[in-house]
Amino acid sequence: MNIDSSGGNTGVLSEPSYPDSHWEATSSALAWALEAIPLYAGHARHGDRTRIATASMDADATKCLLRELPILSKQDIRLHFPKQLLPTGFDWRAAVERNEAVLVATSGTTDERLQLLWEEGWWERQERAALCLHPAVRLVLSRDYREAVLTSPLCSGTTCHSGPTPLAERTIGNLLFLNQRGDPTYWTDSDVRTMVSELNAFEPDGLEADPAYLAELCRRARRLGLDLHQPSYVTLSYEFVSGLHRREIAKALSAPLLNLYGSTEAGVLFMECERGLLHHNHDYSHVELVPSGLFGAPTSLARVLVTQLSNRFTPLLRYDIGDLAFVEARGCDCGAGDGWVLRSIEGRLKDVTTTTRSEAVTVGELDREISQTRELAAYQVIQERDRGRWLIRWVAGDDARGTDEIEREITDRMRVLYGADAHVECRRERFIAPEPSGKYRLAMRKP
């Protein structure tokens, strides 16, 4: 990251209240990880070890100790997995063979890829806890329910050898995995019909989806005159949720669209409530929100550091997930419980662009402006610093106005964001390619 942070606001965010049980769990997880995990054992000082051994850490001591630990990056995980990140003496291969552990891998560009170990069933438990923060979803989950999943199959490393998977193999317990292609651009009409047909036959109570994939499915289904089954809720996860996605999905699905925020390596961290705010899933993680320090950004724009509370195999301490979020200082009265409340997820730190005055523009800020252009189906902003140019590639949705008219509006909106004198260029595209991970990138800076 090479964003200028000089002059950025680095004030402190006032922490919300958490129940004692959260601090006990955090203290306990910290004590265990500092003792058992070689990477962290090297970080703990003698005094820490004494405090840990006597279990004398209260909330303040826990916070204090956490702040003294170095921040864990994706690169750290890549460099130290498995041996330095697993408990000393732990035979992870045997655990995988006994189905006690699952080796998971995230794909993506060089700085995104990770491998780590999940305890069998851990993902489901902590995801369910997050989902239950929303009362309507909690109600659905309290009875027998079915859920359909629409995201990238994430098999780019082995596509040569993985074939179409029959419906029976994609139905696992109460879950149906709909998609078989790594890039929705390659969905044929037949693929769309099959997914819609399977969705409608399965009649899930919930739909968990990558927002870009679901928006595309809704758009394509509409063009084909296909109606979608109406689930009770839709959770949007896996990548940044654009206003464009929400608008397109809402045309086809009447259920509440709920942002479920987390990552493969950190777990599900926040769940959107009925007020549109995001609540911390604090039984499974401790989160520190640290002001981003980006030039021109308010204190409430924060980086997200995660300490896992229940990952027995590869516990992450102060892991920087790489995203930014706006904190809602006033909290929320929806009843979802204690802990941090976020106003919005703002996208990845590495995707922050800058104005003509070098002020940071998050993906969220960009999206709130650009997605107001109603006819857009997709877009991507590339800030080319060497050319002093902001290039916006865009794809028209259905029933769009003429190119010139749309580009005038986009240019105006870009200048609102980046500066009245910003050199903005628009390029109409038919498609925008996803990243190797199957996700779409809305903004980037070059070089």
Region from 18-26, 30-38, 107-115, 404-412 binding another protein, contact rule CB under 8 A = 107-115
- Pick between residue 11 and residue 164 the one whose CB is nearest to another protein: 164
CB 234 within 8 A of CB 253: yes
Region from 150-158, 255-263, 278-286, 401-409 binding another protein, contact rule CB under 8 A = 150-158
Question: CA–CA separation, 32 vs 36, rounded Å?
Answer: 6
Question: CA–CA separation, 26 vs 8, rounded Å?
Answer: 30
**Tokens standing for 315?**
């516990």
Indicate which single residue of 160, 173, 225, 357 sits in contact with another protein (rule: CB under 8 A): 160
- C-alpha distance from residue 232 to each of 207, 255, 258, 414 (Å): 8, 6, 11, 37
- C-alpha distance from residue 173 to each of 127, 167, 168, 206, 305 (Å): 16, 12, 10, 14, 33
**Shortest distance, position 264 Cβ to another protein, whole Å:** 16
CB 232 within 8 A of CB 207: no
Contacts with another protein, 309-338, as mask; x by CB under 8 A:
------------------------------
Q: Is the peptide bond before 447 cis (omega within 30 degrees of 0)?
A: yes
- Pick between residue 122 and residue 379 the one whose CB is nearest to another protein: 379
Site residues for another protein, 339-368, by CB under 8 A, read none
Concatenate the DSSP letters of all residues of 277-290 into one string: -EEE-TTTEEEEEE
* SS3 category, 25: helix
Asked if 55 interacts with another protein (CB under 8 A), we say no
**Shortest distance, position 338 Cβ to another protein, whole Å:** 40
Q: Which of 106, 88, 90 is nearest to 98 (CA)?
A: 90
Question: CA–CA separation, 379 vs 399, rounded Å?
Answer: 17
Indicate which single residue of 17, 158, 225, 420 sits in contact with another protein (rule: CB under 8 A): 158
**Shortest distance, position 410 Cβ to another protein, whole Å:** 18
Indicate which single residue of 73, 156, 264, 310 sits in contact with another protein (rule: CB under 8 A): 156
Indicate which single residue of 75, 162, 197, 230 sits in contact with another protein (rule: CB under 8 A): 162
- Pick between residue 46 and residue 161 the one whose CB is nearest to another protein: 161
Task: State which H helix or E strand residue 395 sits in.
Answer: strand 389-396
**Shortest distance, position 185 Cβ to another protein, whole Å:** 5
Strand pairing partners for 353?
Answer: 361
Crossing angle for the helix pair 20-36 and 59-68, nearest 10 degrees? 40
- Pick between residue 264 and residue 310 the one whose CB is nearest to another protein: 264
Asked if 76 interacts with another protein (CB under 8 A), we say no
Q: Distance between alpha carbon 122 and the CA centroid of its chain, in Å?
A: 18
CB neighbourhood size of 205 (10 A): 19
**Shortest distance, position 57 Cβ to another protein, whole Å:** 39
Question: CA–CA separation, 124 vs 257, rounded Å?
Answer: 20
**Shortest distance, position 380 Cβ to another protein, whole Å:** 11
Q: Tokens 């190119």 label which residue?
A: 403
- Pick between residue 9 and residue 156 the one whose CB is nearest to another protein: 156
Backbone angles phi, psi at 422, to 5 degrees: -65, 140
Asked if 385 interacts with another protein (CB under 8 A), we say no
Asked if 19 interacts with another protein (CB under 8 A), we say no
User: By CB under 8 A, how many residues form the interface with another protein?
Assistant: 27
Asked if 372 interacts with another protein (CB under 8 A), we say no
What Rg value do the Cα atoms of the chain yield, rounded?
A: 22
**Shortest distance, position 364 Cβ to another protein, whole Å:** 25
**Shortest distance, position 408 Cβ to another protein, whole Å:** 18
Asked if 113 interacts with another protein (CB under 8 A), we say yes
Contacts with another protein, 176-195, as mask; x by CB under 8 A:
-----x-x-xx-x-------
CB neighbourhood size of 272 (10 A): 26
Question: CA–CA separation, 114 vs 79, rounded Å?
Answer: 10
Asked if 164 interacts with another protein (CB under 8 A), we say yes
- Pick between residue 223 and residue 427 the one whose CB is nearest to another protein: 427
Residues 6 or more apart in contact with residue 306 via CB below 8 angstroms: 266, 267, 269, 285, 286, 287, 316, 318, 319, 321
Site residues for another protein, 398-417, by CB under 8 A, read none
Contacts with another protein, 423-442, as mask; x by CB under 8 A:
----x-xxxxx-xx------
Contacts with another protein, 188-227, as mask; x by CB under 8 A:
x---------------------------------------
Binding site for another protein (CB under 8 A): 107-110, 113, 156-164, 181, 183, 185-186, 188, 427, 429-433, 435-436
